[in-house]
Amino acid sequence: MEDQACPRCKTTKYRNPSLKLMVNLCGHTLCESCVDLLFLKGSGSCPECNAALRRTNFRVQLFEDPMVEKEVDIRKRVLRDFNKKEEDFPTLREYNNYLEEIENIIYNLANNIDVIETNKKIEQYKRENKELILKNKSKLSKKEVELEELIELEKQKEKAKVLELAQLDKEIEKNKIREKEALIQELMFSEGNAKSIVKTFASVIQGSKEEKQVAPPVQKVTQFSSGIKFGNQGGNSFLPVPKVEEGPLYSYTEIRQDIEGPAPPDMRELQTRGYLKNVRSENSAERAGGFRANIACLRALQEAMVGLYHNPLDRQNESMMI
């Protein structure tokens, strides 16, 4: 295509990449600039063959060979009038002879062979078959309308399908976001092991039957607003027992508290002696945060009584004696 050039101004595609070659009925090409210059008044003659041409008949060249362009244009013009169908002929042989005659007419016009006689034959055929040509043209127009309707319907279906796929992609993206939010909530508020929660999350999303069989039984289920259920993994929330080489096991040692006052009541005595009568009970939100009224009351009594007999002078005398 880069070797193509305008025969008048010799401009090539290589020198001017935006070069647009145009062709007319005669089959000879001209660039768009030369067409605008030579056919400024609307009509003129071809620089190659001096054929009378009109500016409106020029079109962009689609094929590399201009002769192909010429033949395509001639074929379109001829078939507009030679539009008989196979059912219009009594035998198949007559229909084949008709098709052969059409090809001969196109070949003669494309190669400038007996052009005058060929045009006379075309005009004679048009006069003799005027009604049939109009009838077949109306059939063609109806078929074209139906074809356009089918194409438009197909476009609408394709557009609806694209919108449906786009909506489905949005839903998938929203589900992914909800799944991530649910996983984050589970990791934040659950007491279970993080690896177990992530593994359970993966099994829920993938829906794998094998993973469901391998997964431990869920003892307690938490359902978030997203609708995704995760187990709190209460049975697997314990840390593994440390090995001997990692250090000694932890042993609890009770806290020793020096009391300089009367012994405070224990948890059982708080209820029996009526300490909790004047203490407000905890609500559900406070209970969820770990607050208990009896524990708060016990701590308050311990702090009040642990230093009730404390005398700083005794401590000073003890230090002086030491």
Longest CA–CA span in the chain (Å) reads 147
Residues 6+ apart with CB under 8 A from 19: 4, 6, 11, 12, 13, 31
Neighbour-count burial of 10, counting CB atoms closer than 10 A to its CB (0-12 exposed, 13-18 middle, 19+ buried)? exposed
Q: What is the pTM of this model?
A: 0.35
Q: What is the DSSP string of 210-268?
A: HHHHHSPPPS-EEE-TTS-EEE--GGG-SPPPPPGGG-PPP---PPP----SSPPP-HH
Q: Which residue has the higher pLDDT, 313 or 11?
A: 11
| Measured distance CA(97)–CA(79) in Å, rounded | 15
**Where are the alpha helices (H) located in the chain, listed in sequence order?**
32-38, 66-81, 92-110, 115-128, 130-189, 194-206, 209-214, 267-272, 284-288, 293-305, 312-321
| Measured distance CA(275)–CA(24) in Å, rounded | 111
Residue 257 has pLDDT above 50, yes or no: yes
| Measured distance CA(261)–CA(269) in Å, rounded | 18
Q: Residue 209's pLDDT band (boundaries 50, 70, 90)?
A: very low
pLDDT digits (tens, 9 = 90+) for 97-108: 888 988 888 888
Residue 218 has pLDDT above 60, yes or no: no
| Measured distance CA(156)–CA(146) in Å, rounded | 15
Q: Could you tell me if 125 and 133 are in contact, meaning their C-beta atoms sit under 8 angstroms apart?
A: no
Among candidate residues 268, 274, 265, 277, the one with its CA nearest the CA of residue 302: 265
CB atoms under 10 Å from CB of 68, counted, come to: 15
In the three-class reduction of DSSP (H, G, I as helix; E, B as strand; rest coil), residue 279 is classed as: coil
| Measured distance CA(93)–CA(42) in Å, rounded | 46
pLDDT digits (tens, 9 = 90+) for 145-199: 677 778 888 888 888 888 888 888 888 888 888 888 877 877 777 767 777 777 7
Length of the chain as a residue count: 322
Average pLDDT, the chain: 76
What pLDDT is recorded for position 208? 43
Q: Which two tokens stand for residue 299?
A: 């701590």
| Measured distance CA(19)–CA(273) in Å, rounded | 106
**In the predicted model, what is the mean pLDDT of residues 210-229?**
48
What pLDDT is recorded for position 226? 46
Q: Residue 242's pLDDT band (boundaries 50, 70, 90)?
A: low
Give just the sign of the alpha carbon dihedral 160, 163, 168, 174: negative
| Measured distance CA(197)–CA(202) in Å, rounded | 9
H-run or E-run covering 21: strand 21-23
| Measured distance CA(148)–CA(154) in Å, rounded | 10
What pLDDT is recorded for position 115? 82
